[in-house]
Chain A
Amino acid sequence: MGRGWIPVLVGAVVVVCTFALAQARVFEPSVPAAGAVAGGDVYRGETVFQRECAGCHGAGGKGGGVGPRLSGAGIDVATVTAAVQLGRGVMPAGLVSGRDEADVVAYVVSISTG
């Protein structure tokens, strides 16, 4: 086997290592796990939150707008779901629904209790 195979072999090893690392998800947040809150996907919820909620609750729910700070506020699933569905204060009801709602609830709970 000539030297030309060395880059290919090293590249293949790196690919395998990357895949193993990706499967391990060593730094995946343990509480709550992505996708584990009320059937929602935390990661996708982050994008929904940024689009629909960050204007009032700030980036990452850290406050700064007319809405309260959500990050670290310790809000549970039922409270977040109620706020989204029924509205709260100046927040209108039903800003998001369906899968978006489940995802954004999962995200808010993750930043709230994480």
Chain B
Amino acid sequence: MLLGDVSETYTDLVTTVFSSTIAAKAWLASAALLLALVQVTTAARIYGRVSFLPERGPAISRVHRWSGRVAFLLTLPVFFHCVTILGFQTPDTRVALHSLVGTFFYGVFAAKVLIVRDRSLPGWALPTAGLTLASILGALWLTSSLWYFTTVRFGL
């Protein structure tokens, strides 16, 4: 079956690098979350909320933009596996919460991208959208990668 083959091909591709598809998602999501933290920190610097980073300027803005772009790219394989292969599931609270929150991720992302480009919006719109997006990513990580690392990978 063609559609089944896509899933197999994806799994074969991923397991050439990672031990399993779930391990791949856990590590990619962790990297994305790390970059999201960079995003939040650099945004806070740009808004003058923190002072421990170097001066405001092009460098901070560049780090902010590129951390966002790379974080977005890292989420794409996770999206592919979660949405197109696994789908929306509710077998237990963790998975149900993960499915529900995950459904909103790219919606908030799309809204944030539009807000960035619209300078007519109130000043609070962009930080609110950014923090919401980072929070959603954090919630997704807590309900998936953290579970994976604590129950499967490292058995904490």
Size class of the contact patch on chain A: 35 or more
- Inter-subunit contact B84/A27 (CB<8 Å): yes
- Inter-subunit contact B115/A7 (CB<8 Å): yes
A29 in contact with B103 given A10-B110, A18-B83, A47-B20 (CB within 8 Å): no
Residues from chain A with a CB closer than 8 A to the CB of B83 are 18, 21-22
Number of A-B contacts (CB under 8 A): 121
- Inter-subunit contact A11/B84 (CB<8 Å): no
Q: How far is the CA of A55 from the CA of B119 in the complex (A)?
A: 55
Closest to A32 in B: B4
Residues from chain B with a CB closer than 8 A to the CB of A28 are 3-4, 7, 84-87
Residues from chain B with a CB closer than 8 A to the CB of A21 are 83-84
- Inter-subunit contact B107/A14 (CB<8 Å): yes
| Chain A residues touching B, majority SS | helix
Size class of the contact patch on chain B: 35 or more
Closest to A15 in B: B107
A3 in contact with B118 given A22-B88, A22-B99, A26-B84 (CB within 8 Å): yes
Cβ distance A52 to chain B, nearest Cβ, rounded Å: 10
- Inter-subunit contact A50/B20 (CB<8 Å): yes
Q: How far is the CA of A32 from the CA of B23 in the complex (A)?
A: 22
- Inter-subunit contact A30/B4 (CB<8 Å): yes
Residues from chain B with a CB closer than 8 A to the CB of A27 are 3-4, 6-7, 10, 80, 84-85
What are the 10 tightest A-B residue pairs by CB atom distance, in nearest-first order? A11-B111, A15-B107, A25-B87, A7-B111, A7-B114, A22-B88, A11-B107, A14-B107, A30-B4, A60-B15
